Structure 1
């Protein structure tokens, strides 16, 4: 297997060398440092004594380093680094496969290829070309890294850690963990007393991260009873496969991570939940590259939102409902409608509301909503379509009367966090383009960020 190191040019080597010497958190998860003398690999922020450059090699992904026999550092913990996708917009199949393998660690490689619509052989060829390892190896390494994170940060028993990580049993976890890291799960696990029945975890991000911007955006659009936004936290309910839970994300001032408190009824859903939370807060954004592209497109440096992110919503269905009810009215009025919809048709457990299902909305006459009849019909038709075709791309919604390109693009931008959505027909965007000399093509593939940047400048 070819050793897929990151050294592609003297300039790039110089950048990574400087980043590791200065322990620059902006490069956390962008690359990993493997030390030949210790056979250990680290994050760019590792506080350990710096090795000589001659003893170092760089990898794009932790799984690549593990494939070459390096063990993850117990001090800086590569398992907790933000994710980084080197081929976003270039090799989308590889990117999608990596995401599916990380989010759905219970799926087989055959399941992944069926979702991608490609053959097993072609997937292996892509992984060999871009990662230097097989899909199966990537999946096992990823499971071990995730298990390591849970062992470090939670008081979950070994059996639950195994199931949350995608292993069939604690025995399979221990076998793979020992083989790859050289340690047993119990050697990682410190004595913990669980004082909270909920799960507590950390999600790291690369700075700059503009919490105030994303907090303010979500606050203005929070659905009463479903979402709660404070100065330093965001809470919401969710449903996965019909099972209901909630999470609270707390921003830690001066730290490059969010602390999560999670109420999750089925531990096997943990990787899906964490991936969605990362998407809602856009924690894995390559923010340095994005900001460079925004400036290149014409955004004045003094207007640039440092650390801008794409604030997401739970899924495309909720994003579609938000977009439909938000057509041609203010944000405040739209949220009032969404809150009424949720509190009328959504389930309530204790004092928490859950967003209504497509089935619940499609069966209602929606008489409690004071909106035009055509808007009600559009929402009902949308929900009926979603009941029948829950996995169709939002692009297919165009056949529903009352749904146009703007609604679809908005749902993809917030419900799927697609980075290159350009709402050129949006009235605010049009006004901003008239005011500033912006060339949107120069911000590609990050035009969604340009959209949010221009909205904020209105």
Structure 2
């Protein structure tokens, strides 16, 4: 059983006050009704003698409890305190939720851990085994889709990661003691034909800053912002729209096959940095007065990422020593070249190798760097969930790729909270303005105080300068 970071008394006070600050940090199991709830559940609070507290939904479900239909635990903001010091576990959870692995053995290998180490990490921090964590995640996603969409039962099964409807029905009945069809009859089901994902986050959340980031970098014909909403064409027949909801991002998808939802959900959470916990990050960065002032000045500032690691790498290479607008135009030109060749969107590494990118008008050395990186990236699978620690060294070994490119790629891939592009001119200027450091070497030393959140500290420093708006 995992250890709660809150005491029973703190949990009791939070649930009685329905304090939103504690939403997702613990779950209340009510043994008299056999359900578990969020701290903000609107129902009358049960007696203390009838409750237990759990760190995760998976732990509550292993105790034989079902999720509350009123407060809907699947919509709680993330409350994973362990992410700060457990990057391997974080990667394991991501791979598990993406369904890119088919066994615990494969998952352990992908995280460079033994099966025993992996199981111990899950048990210590999540209170359950990897397979139990996956089961709970799938069922909670299915519960959300059964309520918030008009997808058929079969479509919900595949959208939740199940390979057969029978297995989905069996698991749902075993855990929730009623069939998916009966569950849907008991809830207020959305009648909309559009598929809307509700992705929770923890406040504060600076949506407008993220929206501005993506608008300034929008690729012509693929991305745009309109009426406070971000739009992206995922393919000629697939479209996505992101807008701000109450405590959630609302993502409307059209033309998307149900089996792609687990992958898209994870990409969106990474792209908009929805798993960040501002309180934990601020607590660490506040140890330094200058950084504390920036945290206060820009509450809820998130670390924007790109759709996948390959896009982040392309932008890092093409965006070197140019403004945002110049970088955006180069990406748009690359998409146009790919479109003329019969493709759509940004070319994959394999596709880039077959394109003539002379129309980009970039120096020959940078053109060759792009080709060399594409040739190496063919074997890296950057479209999925790259291990940035393992790939940084071979990427840096590619001729034409320097430390800034690698650090920026790590930062904008959404897979590294602790990247520091110390050679960045704007970053060094911002650090000097804040009285933190006068050169890259001094910045490296000072930045040790910001671990493991150097990516967020970098983002705050960029944000503090006018020129910071011109950082790709």
TM-score (structure 1 length as normaliser):
0.90
Give the secondary structure class of the aligned counterpart of 2:359.
coil
Deviations 1:135-178 (A, max 9, x none): 22222222211111111111111111111222232222121111
8 Å CA contact 1:105, 1:166 repeated in 2: no
Sort the Cα spacing of 1:133 and 1:16 in 2 relative to 1 into closer, same or farther, 3 A: same
Alignment correspondent of 2:250: 259
Sort the Cα spacing of 1:182 and 1:437 in 2 relative to 1 into closer, same or farther, 3 A: farther
**Where in structure 2 are the equivalents of 1:309-348 lying within 5 Å?**
309-346=302-339
Match of 1:421 among 402, 415, 419: 419
Deviations 1:365-411 (A, max 9, x none): 31101221111111111112112443674402111111111111111
Sort the Cα spacing of 1:347 and 1:18 in 2 relative to 1 into closer, same or farther, 3 A: farther
8 Å CA contact 1:25, 1:207 repeated in 2: no
Deviations 1:220-279 (A, max 9, x none): 11111111123421122337xxx9733111113xx1111111135432221111011011
Question: Could you tell me how far 1:86 is from its partner in structure 2?
Answer: 2.7
Out of 174-183 and 14-23, give the one that drifted further: 14-23
Alignment correspondent of 2:454: 447
User: Equivalents in 1 of 2:447, 2:112: separation in Å?
Assistant: 32
8 Å CA contact 1:226, 1:355 repeated in 2: no
Out of 135-144 and 308-317, give the one that drifted further: 135-144
User: Equivalents in 2 of 1:14, 1:77: separation in Å?
Assistant: 23
Sort the Cα spacing of 1:105 and 1:189 in 2 relative to 1 into closer, same or farther, 3 A: farther
User: Equivalents in 2 of 1:328, 1:277: separation in Å?
Assistant: 28
8 Å CA contact 2:78, 2:202 repeated in 1: no
Consecutive unaligned residues in structure 2, runs of 5 or more: 437-445, 466-472
Alignment correspondent of 2:225: 229
Match of 1:373 among 360, 364, 369: 364
Sort the Cα spacing of 1:83 and 1:335 in 2 relative to 1 into closer, same or farther, 3 A: same
Question: Could you tell me how far 1:300 is from its partner in structure 2?
Answer: 4.7
Question: Could you tell me how far 1:184 is from its partner in structure 2?
Answer: 1.8
Out of 115-124 and 429-438, give the one that drifted further: 115-124
Consecutive unaligned residues in structure 1, runs of 5 or more: none
1:280 maps to 2:251: no
8 Å CA contact 2:153, 2:180 repeated in 1: yes
1:384 maps to 2:379: no
Give the secondary structure class of the aligned counterpart of 1:238.
strand
Deviations 1:184-212 (A, max 9, x none): 2122214757553x422211111111111
Sort the Cα spacing of 1:116 and 1:424 in 2 relative to 1 into closer, same or farther, 3 A: same
Alignment correspondent of 2:128: 133
1:156 maps to 2:156: no
RMSD between superposed Cα atoms in Å: 2.5
**Where in structure 2 are the equivalents of 1:147-296 lying within 5 Å?**
147-190=142-185, 195-196=192-193, 198-238=194-234, 245-252=238-245, 255-296=246-287
Question: Could you tell me how far 1:35 is from its partner in structure 2?
Answer: 2.0
8 Å CA contact 1:23, 1:46 repeated in 2: yes
User: Equivalents in 1 of 2:87, 2:461: separation in Å?
Assistant: 27
TM-score (structure 2 length as normaliser):
0.87
Alignment correspondent of 1:44: 39
Tell me the matched-pair count: 445
Deviations 1:2-21 (A, max 9, x none): x4351x56xx4454334323
Sort the Cα spacing of 1:98 and 1:195 in 2 relative to 1 into closer, same or farther, 3 A: closer
Alignment correspondent of 2:468: none
Deviations 1:336-381 (A, max 9, x none): 11111112214899xx952222222222231101221111111111
Give the secondary structure class of the aligned counterpart of 1:159.
helix
8 Å CA contact 1:215, 1:231 repeated in 2: no
Alignment correspondent of 2:469: none
Alignment correspondent of 1:60: 55
